């Protein structure tokens, strides 16, 4: 599983962890230097530091600071929750698509089971030791980490028990207590390099040193078990649906479903203030203003801006898309379709990698002191260079998502 192969400082808190409250406070020009001019959670900037920044830059600094706080406090999944929810909804629609394609092509369970037996899925039990060194670290640091991992491998090949060695050498938290043993994993549980290395081993065999985005690993395969077909069926359905095609019929079916949706936007479409207002209806369902507003934080900043500025075409398209998704999810639920844990883990892992990339550019780290976090956020706002500029643009595009996690408030002067 992902959290077992990444640095401990990447481990995210449980979803029920209390969310950070975020407030943006603009100071008056001419206020004393020590007065707070911008605050994001525990992170504060003085009025003097932000005095000359235009509104767009203040918002950008707040969002860069929000990324830093999420990394610092282990709240990366909370930071991306609106986008993660959208990705989960899209994945469930994809599963509905695959099931319908098989239904239309009369593919029965016998065919699916035969396909599975041709390429069964495995559950692996693995011990590992890891020397942490992300790929963005200096080459000298990564070379030292690789050498330490190689030394650990030589020691276990020479006869030292792997559990004791992992407890002594591995930089993964809890390695000593567990002897480096991970929870059993399946394809999609761990990063691809780690999974492929584990899958290539025979029981009891020790791997060469394996590099992942987190560092250098040595693996020992403890056990390999075939996953029952019923538990692997979702993956098989996706593979078979891709092989037989059927996307044209799916698009035609989608058009039919879209045609059943009646928009309730009136002659002059506008974003309603009331969450109870119905924006779209279809047989057995409806989309309210509140439900549509819940979707907005997952959209790109330019799309949200056009909707909030009253662009009728963008609003109409957005409402129709949201209503169609809700209609398809209704169909998926009627078929008792759910997302497997591996799919959910993949979605979360992709978001985590995105934020880790931002953090590498801004030099944000878990448990970073607030003073250093403030300095690095300010540096990230003003530093020149292609990479940092690209990341600032990415953060801006995900502004609605970040704003939902860490709301930006601008109280009146006082």
Residue with tokens 């009136």, as numbered in its chain? 266
Q: Which long-range contacts (CB under 8 A, 24 or more apart) does 295-300 make?
A: 295/86, 295/322, 296/400, 297/82, 297/83, 297/400, 297/401, 297/403, 297/404, 298/82, 298/83, 298/85, 298/86, 298/400, 298/401, 299/400, 300/397, 300/398, 300/400
pLDDT in tens, the chain (414 residues): 333 433 333 333 333 333 333 333 333 333 344 688 888 888 888 888 888 999 899 999 999 999 999 999 999 999 999 999 999 999 999 999 999 999 999 999 999 999 999 989 999 999 999 999 988 788 999 999 999 999 999 999 999 999 999 999 999 888 889 999 999 998 888 889 999 999 999 999 999 999 998 899 999 999 999 999 988 898 899 889 989 888 889 999 999 999 999 999 988 888 888 999 999 999 999 999 999 999 999 999 999 999 999 999 999 999 999 999 999 999 999 999 999 887 898 899 899 989 999 998 999 999 999 999 999 999 999 999 888 999 999 999 999 999 998 877 544 434
Nearest one of 209, 227, 220 to 182, comparing CA atoms: 220
Name the DSSP letter for residue 206: B
Nearest one of 30, 31, 24 to 65, comparing CA atoms: 24
CA separation for the pair 366, 368 (Å, rounded): 5
pLDDT of residue 409: 59
CA separation for the pair 394, 63 (Å, rounded): 11
pLDDT of residue 32: 41
281 CB burial (10 A radius; 0-12, 13-18, 19+): middle
Instruction: Determine phi and psi for 337, rounding to 5 degrees.
Output: -85, 140
Residue with tokens 């041709």, as numbered in its chain? 118
Answer for the pair 79, 67: CB distance below 8 angstroms, yes or no: yes
- N-terminal to C-terminal alpha carbon distance within the chain: 50
CA separation for the pair 323, 88 (Å, rounded): 16
Q: What is the pTM of this model?
A: 0.76
Name all domains of the chain by residue range, CATH numbers in brackets.
2-79+341-405 (no CATH), 84-116+233-334 (no CATH), 122-226 (3.10.50.40)
């Amino acid at each position: 599983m992902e959290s077992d192969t990444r640095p401990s400082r990447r481990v995210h808190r449980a979803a029920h962890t209390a969310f950070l409250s975020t407030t943006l406070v603009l100071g008056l020009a001419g206020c004393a230097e020590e007065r707070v001019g911008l605050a994001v959670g525990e992170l504060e900037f003085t009025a003097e530091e932000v005095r000359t920044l235009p509104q767009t830059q203040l918002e950008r600094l707040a969002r860069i600071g929000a990324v830093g706080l999420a990394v610092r406090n282990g709240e990366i999944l909370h930071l991306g929750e609106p986008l993660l929810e959208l990705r989960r909804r899209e994945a469930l629609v994809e599963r509905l698509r695959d099931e319908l394609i098989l239904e239309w092509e009369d593919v029965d369970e016998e065919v699916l089971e035969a396909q599975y037996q041709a390429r069964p899925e495995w559950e692996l039990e693995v011990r590992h030791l890891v020397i942490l060194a992300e790929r963005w670290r200096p080459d000298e640091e990564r070379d030292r980490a690789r050498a330490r991992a190689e030394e650990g491998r030589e020691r276990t090949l020479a006869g030292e028990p792997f559990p004791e060695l992992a407890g002594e050498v591995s930089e993964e938290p809890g390695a000593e207590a567990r002897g480096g043993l991970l929870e059993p994993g399946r394809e999609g549980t761990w990063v691809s390099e780690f999974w492929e290395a584990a899958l290539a081993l025979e029981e009891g065999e020790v791997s060469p040193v394996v590099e992942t985005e987190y560092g250098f690993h040595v693996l020992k395969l403890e056990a390999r078990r075939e996953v029952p077909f019923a538990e692997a069926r979702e993956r098989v359905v996706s593979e078979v649906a891709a092989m037989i095609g059927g996307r044209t019929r799916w698009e035609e079916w989608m058009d039919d479903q879209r045609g059943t949706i009646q928009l309730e936007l009136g002659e002059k479409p506008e974003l309603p203030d009331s969450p109870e207002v119905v924006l779209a209806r279809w047989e057995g369902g409806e989309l309210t203003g509140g439900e549509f507003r819940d979707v907005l934080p997952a959209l790109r900043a330019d799309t949200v801006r056009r909707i909030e500025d009253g662009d009728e075409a963008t609003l109409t398209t957005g409402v129709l898309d949201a209503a169609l998704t809700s209609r398809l999810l209704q169909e998926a639920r009627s078929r008792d379709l759910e997302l497997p844990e591996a799919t959910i883990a993949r979605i979360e892992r992709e978001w985590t990698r995105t934020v880790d990339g931002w953090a590498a550019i801004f030099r944000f780290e878990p448990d970073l002191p607030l003073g250093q976090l403030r300095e690095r956020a300010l540096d990230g706002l003003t530093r020149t260079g292609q990479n940092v500029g690209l990341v600032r643009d990415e953060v801006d595009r995900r502004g609605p998502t970040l704003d939902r996690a860490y709301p930006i408030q601008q109280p009146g002067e006082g």
